[in-house]
Amino acid sequence: MTRPVSKVCCFTLSLAFLATMVTACNQPPGVNPWRDDAIPISAADTPSMEGVLAAGHEPVFRQREMPHIAFAGQMPVVPHYPLWWEDPFEDKGDGDDQFALTYADYIAMPYGLGRFLLNTVAWPVSAVVTPPGTPMVSDGRVSAGKDHDAKRGISPDPRADASDFGRFVSEPTPPETDDSSQ
C-alpha cells in the first residue's frame, strides 16, 4: 500500500516548517519572557555627564526677559463611567519593577479569570452599589490600601476647549486704527 505523494509532501513541509519555527524562536532578537533584559538606567550615563557631575558646579538658572504666560495644563484626571470588571493586578502590578514573567504573573492568570467570572455573576450587586452612568474619575495613582484609582467625581471641565490642551487663551486685541490716512 502506497501513500499518495501529496500527503507525504504536505507532512514533510509541515514538519520542516515546525522545525524551522522552533529553532528560530530561540535566536536573537527573540524575547526571553522569564528574564528582565530591559536597558538599565545606568546605560543612559555618558562620560560628559559624569564629568559635569563630578566637577560639582552649581547649576546656572537663566532668566529670560519675557512676560509670564499663564496657561492651563492637561486635566489631571480621566472621566469615565463605572468599571465593574477592574482588575487590581492591572492597576497596581506586582511591585517588583521587573519587565519579566514572575510568580505574581502566574498567580494573576487564574485570579483574573476567577475575578472576571465572579464579577460577571455578581454584576447586579455592582450595579446597585455603583449605578450605571455614575460619573467617575481616575488619576492613575493607586492609594495605599486601595485596589483601584477610580473614585466618584466629575472632571473639572468636561468640555474640550483650547485651555484643556495647554494653549494660552487671551482676549482678542482690537485692530489698531491708522490716524494718518484721515
Q: What is the three-state SS of 146-178? A: CCCCEEECCCCCCCCCHHHHCCCCCCCCCCCCC
User: Pick the residue with more confidence: 168 or 48?
Assistant: 48
Q: Smallest Cα–Cα separation from 78: which of 150, 143, 147, 134?
A: 150
* Average pLDDT along the chain: 75
Q: What percent of the chain has pLDDT over 90?
A: 9
Say whether pLDDT at 54 is over 90: no
Which contiguous run of DSSP H or E holds residue 19?
helix 5-24
pLDDT tens readout for residues 81-132: 888 888 877 777 777 777 778 888 888 889 989 999 999 999 999 899 989 8
User: Domain extents for the chain?
Assistant: 78-165
User: What pLDDT shows up at residue 94?
Assistant: 74
The pair phi, psi for residue 9, each rounded to 5°, is: -65, -45
User: What are the C-alpha distances in Å from 118 to residues 42, 86, 124, 131?
Assistant: 44, 12, 11, 18
Distance from C-alpha of 59 to C-alpha of 75, rounded to nearest angstrom? 31
Residue-level length of the chain: 182
